[in-house]
């Protein structure tokens, strides 16, 4: 693997995943441009804001003129920008579709026209829906249960159709991400449970037997960086699941409690929503030799340290940690 590209555009680079990814890219000497709304804080990339290799563009990926201005000179795009969970999407489905689907077409077209060589798309393991098969591999048909997932699947389809010599497309389907980030999300399974355990000493589990696949934020960001370096023929038009620890929510709650080593009450309540997700990540391990180096326990410990250091201000109430609450507070059209 060699460092093939220099200029990387990260859409949504000021989000949960982006704000860990961008400093890592800079550390590896990439030149990085971020296009983001910065709705979760203008400060999330402050640790690297003086880096001359970083360009921060506050803007909307639906703005075609902005894309035409900012994309030229880009070698590779990592496309993260998204209304990135079901509740935020459902809050305003028109907005969700315009960002998550409609904007994808001009983005891909301009990228291709401007000779961007590689396009890495953050899809989601939720595209499968709920499967009975023990191993949910990339070959299984997609049965998305929500519009958020449906449009991820449709973007995948469009990207694969758009692939051409010199324009290499790679699709990653990450599991639920966990761990600390300067733009933290406390609305993701492991992070929710850890927050409640640390700050409430009580975790409420609805149901419990539903499975959730997970991936540590350090691993998923390492994977995006590695994705810039694989040879074209290895990844062109490929789709990979990226998730390692399929656990039930009840197991995750126990794991959180054990890792924190504090007195935490776990309360079980019934739920109608018994959707259970699990994925196999054998293909990415076999073909790309990608193995995770971090565990759920690492994520819990990282969050515990961040709480202890006061890095997470008012975790139960601050809306910046909750996508749905931030989206509710804004009137984005």
Q: Of 51-70, which residues contact ligand NAD (CB under 6 A)?
A: 60-62
CB 243 within 8 A of CB 174: yes
Find the part of the chain contacting ligand NAD (CB under 6 A) among 162-170, 181-189, 204-212, 302-310.
Answer: 181-189
Nearest to 171, CA basis, from 186, 160, 184: 160
In angstroms, what is the minimal distance from the CB of 76 to ligand NAD?
16
Residue nearest to ligand NAD (CB): 15
- Tell whether residue 36 is a contact of ligand NAD (CB under 6 A): yes
**Of residues 60 and 90, the one with the C-beta less far from ligand NAD:** 60
CB 297 within 8 A of CB 256: no
Q: Are strands 118-122 and 238-242 parallel, antiparallel or unpaired?
A: unpaired
Give dist(CA 200, CA 82) in Å, integer.
31
Q: Specify which residues 164 forms β-bridges with.
A: 167
Give dist(CA 187, CA 189) in Å, integer.
7
Give dist(CA 118, CA 74) in Å, integer.
9
Q: Specify which residues 307 forms β-bridges with.
A: none
Give dist(CA 291, CA 281) in Å, integer.
9
- Tell whether residue 185 is a contact of ligand NAD (CB under 6 A): yes
Q: What are phi and psi of 120, to 5 degrees?
A: -110, 120
- Tell whether residue 191 is a contact of ligand NAD (CB under 6 A): no
Judged by CB under 6 A, the residue of 8, 16, 96, 138 near ligand NAD is 16
Q: Per-residue DSSP letters for 123-159?
A: --GGGG-S--SSS--TTSPP---SHHHHHHHHHHHHH
Find the part of the chain contacting ligand NAD (CB under 6 A) among 29-37, 163-171, 230-238, 250-258.
Answer: 29-37
Find the part of the chain contacting ligand NAD (CB under 6 A) among 110-118, 173-181, 245-253, 284-292.
Answer: 173-181
In angstroms, what is the minimal distance from the CB of 62 to ligand NAD?
5
Judged by CB under 6 A, the residue of 10, 99, 170, 239 near ligand NAD is 99
Radius of gyration from C-alpha coordinates of the chain: 19
3-class DSSP assignment, residue 165 = coil
CB 138 within 8 A of CB 283: yes
- Tell whether residue 34 is a contact of ligand NAD (CB under 6 A): no
- Tell whether residue 212 is a contact of ligand NAD (CB under 6 A): no
CB 34 within 8 A of CB 14: yes
Judged by CB under 6 A, the residue of 32, 33, 40, 223 near ligand NAD is 40
- Tell whether residue 12 is a contact of ligand NAD (CB under 6 A): yes
Structure tokens at 233: 């023929």
Find the part of the chain contacting ligand NAD (CB under 6 A) among 109-117, 161-169, 177-185, 273-281.
Answer: 177-185
Judged by CB under 6 A, the residue of 9, 14, 107, 154 near ligand NAD is 14
CA torsion through residues 328, 178, 183, 203, sign? positive
In angstroms, what is the minimal distance from the CB of 268 to ligand NAD?
24
In angstroms, what is the minimal distance from the CB of 150 to ligand NAD?
13
Judged by CB under 6 A, the residue of 9, 10, 18, 92 near ligand NAD is 18
Chain contacts with ligand NAD (rule: CB under 6 A)? 12, 14-18, 35-37, 39-40, 60-62, 80-84, 99, 122, 124, 174, 176-177, 183, 185, 188, 323
């Amino acid at each position: 693997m060699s460092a093939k590209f220099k200029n990387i555009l990260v859409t949504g680079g000021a989000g949960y995943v982006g704000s860990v990814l961008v400093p890592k890219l800079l550390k590896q000497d990439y030149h990085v441009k971020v296009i983001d709304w910065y709705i979760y804080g203008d400060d999330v990339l402050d640790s690297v804001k003086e880096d001359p290799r970083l360009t921060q563009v506050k803007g909307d990926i639906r703005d075609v003129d902005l894309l035409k201005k900012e994309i030229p000179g880009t070698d590779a795009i990592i496309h993260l920008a998204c209304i990135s969970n079901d509740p935020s999407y459902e809050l305003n489905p028109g907005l969700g579709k315009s960002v998550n689907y409609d904007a994808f077409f001009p983005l891909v077209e301009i990228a291709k026209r401007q000779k961007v060589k590689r396009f890495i798309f953050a899809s989601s393991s939720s595209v499968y829906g709920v499967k009975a098969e023990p191993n949910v591999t990339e070959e299984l048909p997609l049965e998305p249960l929500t519009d958020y997932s449906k449009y991820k699947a449709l973007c995948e389809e469009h990207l694969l159709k758009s692939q051409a010599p010199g324009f290499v497309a790679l699709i990653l389907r990450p599991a639920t991400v966990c761990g600390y980030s300067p733009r933290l999300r406390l609305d993701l399974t492991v992070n929710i449970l850890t927050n409640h355990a640390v700050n409430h000493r009580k975790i409420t589990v609805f149901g419990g037997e539903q499975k959730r696949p997970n991936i540590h934020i350090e691993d998923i960001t390492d994977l995006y960086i590695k994705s810039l370096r694989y040879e074209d023929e290895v990844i062109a038009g490929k789709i990979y699941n990226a998730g390692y620890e399929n656990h039930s929510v009840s197991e995750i709650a126990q794991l959180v409690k054990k890792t924190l080593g504090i007195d935490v009450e776990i309360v079980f309540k019934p739920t109608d929503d018994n959707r259970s997700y699990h994925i196999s990540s054998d293909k990415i391990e076999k073909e790309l030799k990608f193995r995770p180096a971090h565990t759920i326990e690492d994520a819990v410990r990282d969050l515990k340290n961040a709480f202890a250091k006061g890095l997470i201000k008012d975790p139960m109430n601050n809306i910046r940690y909750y996508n749905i609450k931030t989206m509710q507070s804004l009137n984005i059209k």
